[in-house]
Amino acid sequence: METTASEKIHCLIIGSGPAGYTAAIYAARANLKPVLYQGIQPGGQLTITTEVENYPGYPDGVQGPDMMVDFEKQAVRMGADIRYGIATKVDFSVSPRKVWIDDEKLIEAYAVIIATGASAKWLGLESEQRLNGFGVSACAVCDGFFFRGKEVAIVGAGDTAAEEALYLSKLCTMVHMFIRRDQMRASKVMQDRVLNAPNIKVYWNTDTNEVLGDKHVTGVRITNNKTGESQTIPVTGFFVAIGHQPNSDIFKDWLDMDEAGYIKTIPGTSKTNLEGIFAAGDVQDKVYRQAVTAAGSGCMAALDAERWLGAKGIH
């Protein structure tokens, strides 16, 4: 691989959601002169969210993209160097650590904060993407509130889908739950809760064909994959809960991960198995996955990096 340019820095932050930007704010205030590369989706998952009502400090709610612009402006004001670019390859066998941006520029950084996030898995329907943010969502905790007193549908069969269906059942009049097979993957206790909820209707052996609606979701068309029978169910919200994929592929030869690809951190810290490399936000959190918890872990990563650099005498 040809290297067209190389640059040596104290602290590199990869990713630009709440975790990355918060890490940049703290690292810049600590005079670490952080460089942040925004990645494939500047602003992260919040840029495909419309209204955010559960982030503290915004009493009237805020648009997801607007909130990420605020985060970025604050990081820049503190002195963070925010850049476009995607980390495409790393070499963590040496110090300073090597990270290639867009396959060409080489960054050598003593401390690296990984905040590359996770991406929701989608069914792959054109209508699902077209109506994303207009009734289609991959986060019931984020968006369920907007469907209070309405009928919604959810697709998924694991613990997350079960939890989200139960969460929605407390807000919505009816939750239609579509499961592709004749059984759920969720734990027994979660299955029991779903099956005993009076306003969750489970559809077994069910494929989702299309989300219906012009400007916003009005229904969903499903087919029973055993009988071939199709039906249309009128709903105003459609939730996809078939899992998330952490954006951690380029680190898999270096960092300890769980079976799903989430980077493992030492509990109570942002530290990975390699010193000087820290992970924050959804790339290491499959439990909470909220903007506020991601921001909190970004703060932890910057403080951990500052202390590590200080202990190494790197100024």
Catalytic residues: 139, 142-143
Residue with tokens 């400090």: 57
Please check whether residue 137 is in contact with residue 241, taking contact to mean a CB–CB distance below 8 angstroms. no
Tokens of 292: 């506020």
- The answer for residues whose C-beta is within 8 angstroms of residue 158's C-beta and 6 or more apart is 184, 185, 186, 241, 242, 243
Q: What ranges in 38-139 are assigned the alpha helix state H?
A: 64-77, 126-130
- Closest C-alpha among 218, 6, 253 to residue 108: 6
Helix, strand, coil % in the chain, rounded to nearest 5:
30, 30, 40
